[in-house]
Amino acid sequence: MAELQEVQITEEKPLLPGQTPEAAKIHSVETPYGSVTFTVYGTPKPKRPAILTYHDVGLNYKSCFQPLFQFGDMQEIIQNFVRVHVDAPGMEEGAPVFPLGYQYPSLDQLADMIPCVLQYLNFSTVIGVGVGAGAYILSRYALNHPDTVEGLVLINIDPNAKGWMDWAAHKLTGLTSSIPEMILGHLFSQEELSGNSELIQKYRNIITHAPNLDNIELYWNSYNNRRDLNFERGGDITLKCPVMLVVGDQAPHEDAVMADSGGQPQLTQPGKLTEAFKYFLQGMGYMASSCMTRLSRSRTASLTSAASIDGNRSRSRTLSQSSESGTLSSGPPGHTMEVSC
């Protein structure tokens, strides 16, 4: 009998005819750490937070979030929220290359730029959606400004500084690999990279030929120099808001490969992520339960184990929700939700 092979399928469900993307408004503001550019879609909705996104290294808001935010089923969610997509300095389309010797902000300083964005827009609270470095930045922002963050979706977050072993490995890799290769190795698993799917070809091409590659390297260096977020089990340093923690099954450091996704679930599994996001928002009181699909209703009945982001993650099949939220938060039951996709 022929052997069954696992094939990675990227979900596709484009906007329906008549579902036109909303117009984008691009803004820049000056901050103590330089200027930051962000793009706003939609209009503020009364009594609702803005959705604020922060992208990973090697990407910008569009290459990181467009497949998710333009996914067909996502429209019924995002039409209820104004969206603010922040580009890390020098990552916005057409960004000039920073001069030699430019001191790029640390991840903590990038987090400290966010209040300037919210002040400019006159927005008081957000639901943050961050990937990799962006997830770290939004977590730091939430730790510093807990009253302004209603919820966080953290995709592939690594809350810890590099240990000496990581540094040694990083230095060794740096001897033989180019910056684009190292960043691709951060975004995707080796299995995905050697599979060289259309998606990988597309992102390899974007990163290798990025006109702002020197800026990307500066963001990459800031990411590698991050300090510990210092979440402590039962300690004082905790996220106070509901958290949806997402791990791509093939995220480079994810050991237990489970289902059919990749290192960047917002690119490869927008449908699964949309459904989990809808469920997360419903838990926060922002989605009528009538909007829940049959699938997510049935998954609700099979919620399983607790999770934390301190490395002792207990893997659940697809979706788990925790009242014992470990190092992530110390709030009421149902505060933390882990999604593996």
Residue 62: CB minimum distance to ligand BEZ, A: 5
Of the pair 266, 325, the CB lying nearest ligand BEZ is at 266
Non-local (6+) Cβ contacts of 279 within 8 A are 292, 296, 299, 300, 319, 337
Q: What is the DSSP letter of 178?
A: -
Non-local (6+) Cβ contacts of 65 within 8 A are 53, 55, 85, 129, 266
Task: Look at phi and psi of residue 35 and say left if phi exceeds 0, alpha if psi is from -120 to 50, else beta.
Answer: beta
Reference 81, options 280, 328, 248; nearest CA is 280
Residue 333: CB minimum distance to ligand BEZ, A: 31
Of the pair 69, 141, the CB lying nearest ligand BEZ is at 69
Residue 51: CB minimum distance to ligand BEZ, A: 7
Residue 205: CB minimum distance to ligand BEZ, A: 19
Interacting span for ligand BEZ (CB under 6 A) from 66-74, 136-144, 190-198, 240-248: 66-74
Residue 294: CB minimum distance to ligand BEZ, A: 26
Q: Which helix (H) or strand (E) holds 153?
A: strand 149-155
Of the pair 59, 241, the CB lying nearest ligand BEZ is at 59
Among 8, 66, 208, 305, binds ligand BEZ (CB under 6 A): 66
- Work out whether 62 is an interface residue with ligand BEZ (CB under 6 A): yes
Under DSSP, is residue 120 helix (H, G, I), strand (E, B) or coil? helix
Of the pair 85, 335, the CB lying nearest ligand BEZ is at 85
74-113 footprint of ligand BEZ as x/- string (CB under 6 A) = ----x----x-x----------------------------
Residue 160: CB minimum distance to ligand BEZ, A: 29
Interacting span for ligand BEZ (CB under 6 A) from 65-73, 155-163, 282-290, 312-320: 65-73
With contact defined as beta carbons under 8 Å apart, do 158 and 136 qualify?
yes
Interacting span for ligand BEZ (CB under 6 A) from 63-71, 234-242, 294-302, 308-316: 63-71
Beta bridge mates, 83: 41, 51
Q: Which residue is nearest to ligand BEZ (CB)?
A: 69
Interacting span for ligand BEZ (CB under 6 A) from 9-17, 60-68, 127-135, 170-178: 60-68
Q: Which helix (H) or strand (E) holds 218?
A: helix 213-224
Q: Which helix (H) or strand (E) holds 68?
A: helix 61-69
Interacting span for ligand BEZ (CB under 6 A) from 62-70, 91-99, 149-157, 164-172: 62-70
With contact defined as beta carbons under 8 Å apart, do 287 and 309 qualify?
no
Residue 271: CB minimum distance to ligand BEZ, A: 16
- Between residue 16 and residue 55, which ones bind ligand BEZ under the rule CB under 6 A? 21-22, 41
Q: How far apart are CA 100 and CA 90, in angstroms?
A: 13
Q: How far apart are CA 235 and CA 229, in angstroms?
A: 13
Q: How far apart are CA 141 and CA 278, in angstroms?
A: 23
Residue 84: CB minimum distance to ligand BEZ, A: 9
Under DSSP, is residue 123 helix (H, G, I), strand (E, B) or coil? coil
Reference 318, options 258, 277, 274, 237; nearest CA is 258
Of the pair 66, 282, the CB lying nearest ligand BEZ is at 66
Measured CA distances, 197 to 114, 161, 230, 285, 336 (Å):
35, 31, 37, 39, 33
Among 11, 38, 49, 69, binds ligand BEZ (CB under 6 A): 69
Contact residues for ligand BEZ, defined by CB under 6 A: 21-22, 41, 62, 65-66, 69-70, 78, 83, 85
